[in-house]
Amino acid sequence: MALDKATVQKLAERLDNAETQRKEIAKITDDYPDLDWDDAYAIQDALRAIKVARGTRIAGLKMGLTSHAKMKQMGVVDPVRGFLADYGQVADGGECDTAGLIHPKVEAEIAFVTKRALSGPGCHIGAVLAATDFVVPALEVIDSRYLDFKFDLKSVIADNTSAARYVVGGNASNAVGMDLKNLGVVTEKNGVVVATASGAAVLGHPAQSVAMLANMLGARGQEIPAGTLILTGGVTEAVAVVKGDVINVRYQHLGSVSVRFV
């Protein structure tokens, strides 16, 4: 760790304020260029603690930057992990209030719900499929707290991987027997197709994203508990949205999820 505890706390508060006040800030590596990976996740943990102390419940976990489309779009090369807050939930077919967001973008994601805990190191696709209760179609609304949505990997980790809102569809499917690799995904904005991909875009197979999460947590002595909702990361590049836009994501076999921005 390059930062002391007080600085970690100060930066977590800066990010929390940016979110609650809807105010973009400079990426934190501008001020702290020597920040290391442990610092970045320590800031994310402190941010989570600030929210939990305020009454927020952690509703799930997320992986981000798991597809080449996303890595290329954001100019970074490694997946990252974050958490989902209860206040980020938006009902399928519901409305997402843009007044609470800075510069939202939407990404199509395949979500898993575990029935058993998963731990690493050594977690693999087979272990993930065995521990999966079901998969559901989802979408994430990301909203970087950084100026112009521009950041480096350490800054975006500290900012809880741009997590903001998410929609989870109710059509649960068994992951076993489902060809998640070849599962087609079509994102429509206002009725026009804006992005397409298949499940393999996410680390070759979306379950690999869950395995990676278990291994990342395992490196810190943590695990994915049973009953955890996990967003596996955007299948396609993220699509910018403004008030009035309607997003509908159609998943082969899994059904669709939609949201209207108001």
| Distance of alpha carbon 158 from alpha carbon 145, whole angstroms | 10
Helices in 120-197 by DSSP H: which ranges? Answer: 125-131, 153-158
8 A C-beta contact, residue 134 and residue 233: no
Residue 66 to residues 120, 135, 177, Cα–Cα distance (Å): 18, 17, 23
Q: Which residue of this chain has its Cβ atom nearest to ligand OOG in the complex?
A: 64
Q: Which residue has the tokens 């693999």?
A: 124
Provide Rg for the chain, Cα atoms.
17
Is 39 a binding residue for Mg ion by CB under 5 A? The answer is no
Is 140 a binding residue for Mg ion by CB under 5 A? The answer is yes
| From 104, 120, 137, 234, residue interacting with ligand OOG (rule: CB under 6 A) | 234
- DSSP code per residue over 190-259: TTEEEEEEEGGGBTTSHHHHHHHHHHHHHTTT--B-TT-EEE---SS--EE--TT-EEEEEETTTEEEEE
Select 102 or 214, whichever has its Cβ closest to ligand OOG: 102
| Distance of alpha carbon 262 from alpha carbon 94, whole angstroms | 10
8 A C-beta contact, residue 225 and residue 118: no
Shortest separation between residue 82's beta carbon and ligand OOG, angstroms: 7
Contact characters 181-200, ligand OOG, x per CB under 6 A: --------------------
| From 19, 107, 152, 188, residue interacting with ligand OOG (rule: CB under 6 A) | 107
Contact characters 42-71, ligand OOG, x per CB under 6 A: ----------------------xxx---x-
Select 6 or 187, whichever has its Cβ closest to ligand OOG: 187
Is 132 a binding residue for ligand OOG by CB under 6 A? The answer is no
| From 18, 118, 135, 156, residue interacting with ligand OOG (rule: CB under 6 A) | 156
| From 44, 114, 155, 162, residue interacting with ligand OOG (rule: CB under 6 A) | 162
| From 16, 92, 140, 237, residue interacting with ligand OOG (rule: CB under 6 A) | 140
Pair type for strands 132-142 and 105-114? antiparallel
Residue ranges that bind Mg ion, judged by CB under 5 A? 64, 107, 140, 234
Residue ranges that bind ligand OOG, judged by CB under 6 A? 64-66, 70, 74, 107, 140, 142, 144, 156, 161-162, 233-234
